Amino acid sequence: MTDLVTILGPIGSGKSTLAELLAERVREAGLAVASVDVDDVLAMLSAPLEQFAESWERVRRVHGSLVGAWVRSGIDVVIAHGPIFTPAETEAFEAGLPVGTRTRRILLTAPFGVALDRVSADQTRGISRDPQFLHSTYERFDRLLPDIPPCDWSFDTSTVTAAEIVTALETLLVEAVPTTSTYQPPAPDLHPKS
């Protein structure tokens, strides 16, 4: 059975970095892995700006369909990443998944200042480098955070690196785990609070 790992978080929280390192570790374990970034699906679309909301709905559905196609292919692990927060965004994403897909969710967070530094340093980024745009996405994330469905793991990437997260998760994600819907993987505690 294919494992689906969904990495959620705002822009600049480290989703792509974590997905890349996690995929590398899964490959090193001798497993096949596909990584599907919602931003790559968005890059395929060219639409007028006034159709922004409708375009994002399409992108989320296509992203979910692409992820679902990889899950149905029988590959060992699929890593999906993007800002999927609201029930409507989740529904659009999950509509393309096969019934019964086992999904483990990772939520990444980072303070706005850290994210701004990260995206400002990345010349490949587009509008996400605009401080006002980025700030508006963080305000939205902060509003939605209390209602985001529970994730299996949550990490603040300003206090823990992607490599540390992968090391903490690799045994849980690479080794076979029970496939019952009641399985709850233990949350690694990388930085216990005093």
Please indicate, yes or no, if residue 52 is contained in any of the structural domains: yes
Please indicate, yes or no, if residue 42 is contained in any of the structural domains: yes
- Per-residue pLDDT tens digits for 46-84: 876 667 778 788 888 999 999 999 999 999 999 999 888
Please indicate, yes or no, if residue 185 is contained in any of the structural domains: no
How does strand 33-37 pair with strand 153-156? Answer: unpaired
- Per-residue pLDDT tens digits for 77-125: 999 998 889 888 888 889 999 998 888 999 999 999 999 898 888 777 7
pTM to 2 decimal places: 0.83
CB 80 within 8 A of CB 40: no
Please indicate, yes or no, if residue 136 is contained in any of the structural domains: yes
Q: Which residues pair with 135 in a beta bridge?
A: none
CA distances from 179 to 3, 70, 147, 174, 186 (A): 10, 19, 26, 14, 15
Please indicate, yes or no, if residue 125 is contained in any of the structural domains: yes
3-state secondary structure at position 127 = helix
How many domains is the chain built from?
1
What is the DSSP code (8-state) at residue 65?
Answer: H
Instruction: For the chain, count helices (H), then strands (E).
Output: 7, 5
CB 35 within 8 A of CB 10: no
Please indicate, yes or no, if residue 131 is contained in any of the structural domains: yes
- The pLDDT of residue 191 is 52
Please indicate, yes or no, if residue 189 is contained in any of the structural domains: no
- The pLDDT of residue 121 is 85
| C-alpha neighbours within 13 Å on the C-beta side of residue 58 | 12
CB 10 within 8 A of CB 110: yes
**Angle of the 15-28 helix axis to the 162-174 helix axis, nearest 10:** 50
CATH code of 16's domain: 3.40.50.300
Please indicate, yes or no, if residue 186 is contained in any of the structural domains: no
Residue 20's domain comprises 3-174
